[in-house]
Structure 1
C-alpha cells in the first residue's frame, strides 16, 4: 500500500529549508528546469521568513545549474484568485531585496518563479505553463536580441534570460497519468503519494523524509490542524468563487469569512490557522 506523505506546502514551510533535505527540492527543480540544479542557500527576506504570522508557503533559494549559472528560484504553494498579480509582485520584491545597495542594474538577479496551484488559474487545458519576456517588432515581427557586448555584460544569450520566468503548475488539470519523470513529481504534488516505480530525481528522498508516520505526536497534531485549515480554505474558495459569490459585494465575502472563522474558533483551532484559512486578521478573529 502506498503511504500518504506530508503535503508539499507543509514541507516547504517546515522541512525543506534544512540543508540536509536540499536533495528533495533540487530533484524537483532539476526535473522542471531540465538541468541539474544545486541549491546554494535558502534566502531569508521579509517576504519568506518562517514566522507565526507568515500566511504564505514560500521559499526563496539561490541555486546554480550545470552551466554554473546562478539565479534565484522562488517556490510557492498557494490558493488565491488574484494570483497573477501576486506572482508579479513577489518576483519584483525578490529582485529588489537581493540587489546590493549601490550595485549596477547589470547585477540584478535572474528570478524563476515556480508556482504550485490548487485552483484553476485562467482558462486552459494544460497543467504546466511557462512564461518569459520577449520583445517583438510591431511591423516586421522580429524578436529584439542582445548585442554581443550585452551578452558579455549580462552573461546571457537572449533578453528572456534577464527577466523573471514563471512556471504555473495547475494540479487540478493533471490526469494522474505519469508519462515521464516530471509527471511523477506532479503526481506527488497532487496526490501526496509516490509510487514504487517512480524514478524522478528527489522522489526517493521525499518518500523517506516526508513520511507522515515518522512525525512525532506534536508534529502530527500541528500538521493535522494545518490540513483542516486548508479544507476550510478550499470550502471558502468553492463557495465564494466557484458558485458565483465573487460577483457579489465585498461585505458578502466578509460575512462568509466571519462565519467560517466562527465555526473554526468553536472547534478550538489556533488563531493562526484561522487567519490562514480566512485571511481575516487576528484582531477580527479575537472579536468573534
Structure 2
C-alpha cells in the first residue's frame, strides 16, 4: 500500500482510526476527558474515565448486538457513549435511543435492587446536518421533559448531538474551550500547525498525537486504509445525492411549467433531496457489501431494511 500519497500533516478526525486513537485509547483518555468537560459546560467535572467493552450482546442470543465507538464510565459510575458518524443515517436517532438502553440495563445487578440508576450520556459528533430549520443551531441537548411545565422530568438520560458542518466560527471568534475543541476537530486535516488560539496544554498533546509523521509503519498503514474508506464513503454519498437532486430537479421543473415555476422548483428540490438520500443509501450499501461487510452491519449503518439490503446483494 502506498503511503507517500498522504499530504496532510494531521489525521482526518472523521476516520475510524483517528477517532479511536484520539478519543478511544487509554493513553489518550485525557483528551476525551477535556472534551467532555468542555462539552458539558461545568455540569460535570470528570476526573477519570475507564473504557468499557464496546461490543454488547442482548439478553438473549438471538437479540441484535450493539457495537459502540467509544464507551466509558467515570469515577461516579456515570456512562458515556461517544459516537462519530460520517454520514446521515435514516434512523440515527432511533439508533441512539436503542444504544442508550444497554448502559441502562447493565446497571441492574442480580439480587435485590432499588432501581437507582447512574446518569447515561449519548454523544454524537456528526459530520452532517439533520436539522435544516436553523443554520446556526448545531449543539442539541435532549432530555426527558414534562410537556406541560417544560421542566426536565428525568435528568439522568441525556442525548447530545453536534452538527459539525454548522460550526463555522473562525480562529479569532473562538470564545471558550468547547468552541476550541470543535474548531480543532473540524479543521484538523487542513492545518499545518497548531493554531495560536489553541494554547492550552491539552491541544499540544492533541496535535502531537494526531501528527501522521509520528505514526509507526503499522499505524500509517491502518490510517491509510481508514482514510480510503472515508473518502470512498464520501464520494459515493456526494455522487448519489447529486444524481438524486438532478433527477428531482428536472422533474420539478417539468411539472413546474404546468403548475407554476416557483412551486415546481420547490417540489423538485424536496423530491430531489428525498430521492437523493435513498439513492445514496443504496449505493453506500452496495459498496459496503462489496467490501465484505455483513447484512446486519449494512442495515445498522445505512438504516435500510434487511429486505432492501438483500435485494441489493448480487
Instruction: Name the counterpart of 2:48.
Output: 39
Larger Rg computed on CA atoms: 2
Residues 171, 186 of structure 1: 8 Å contact kept: yes
1:257–1:142 distance in 2 versus 1, CA, 3 Å: closer
Instruction: Pick one of 141, 164, 176 that aligns with 2:169.
Output: 176
Q: Deviations over 1:157-188 (max 9, x none)?
A: x85333x1121111111113223221111112
Instruction: Name the counterpart of 1:24.
Output: 31
Instruction: Name the counterpart of 1:116.
Output: 125
Question: How many Å apart are 1:40 and its aligned residue?
Answer: 2.8
Residues 16, 22 of structure 1: 8 Å contact kept: yes
Indicate the SS of the match to 2:130.
coil
Distance 1:286 1:101 in 2: 44
Residues 27, 203 of structure 1: 8 Å contact kept: no
1:211–1:105 distance in 2 versus 1, CA, 3 Å: farther
Instruction: Name the counterpart of 2:256.
Output: none
1:200–1:72 distance in 2 versus 1, CA, 3 Å: farther
Unaligned runs of 5+ in 2: 1-7, 58-64, 246-268
Indicate the SS of the match to 2:50.
strand
TM-score (norm 2): 0.65
Instruction: Name the counterpart of 2:74.
Output: 63
Indicate the SS of the match to 1:116.
strand
Distance 1:271 1:220 in 2: 19
Q: Does 1:186 align with 2:189?
A: no
Aligned length: 254
1:235–1:28 distance in 2 versus 1, CA, 3 Å: same
Unaligned runs of 5+ in 1: 49-53, 144-157
Instruction: Name the counterpart of 1:104.
Output: 113
Distance 1:33 1:201 in 2: 20
Question: How many Å apart are 1:99 and its aligned residue?
Answer: 2.9
Q: How large is the RMSD of aligned CA atoms in angstroms?
A: 4.0
Instruction: Name the counterpart of 1:160.
Output: 154
Instruction: Name the counterpart of 2:283.
Output: 256
Q: Deviations over 1:122-143 (max 9, x none)?
A: 233312121222325x4xx485
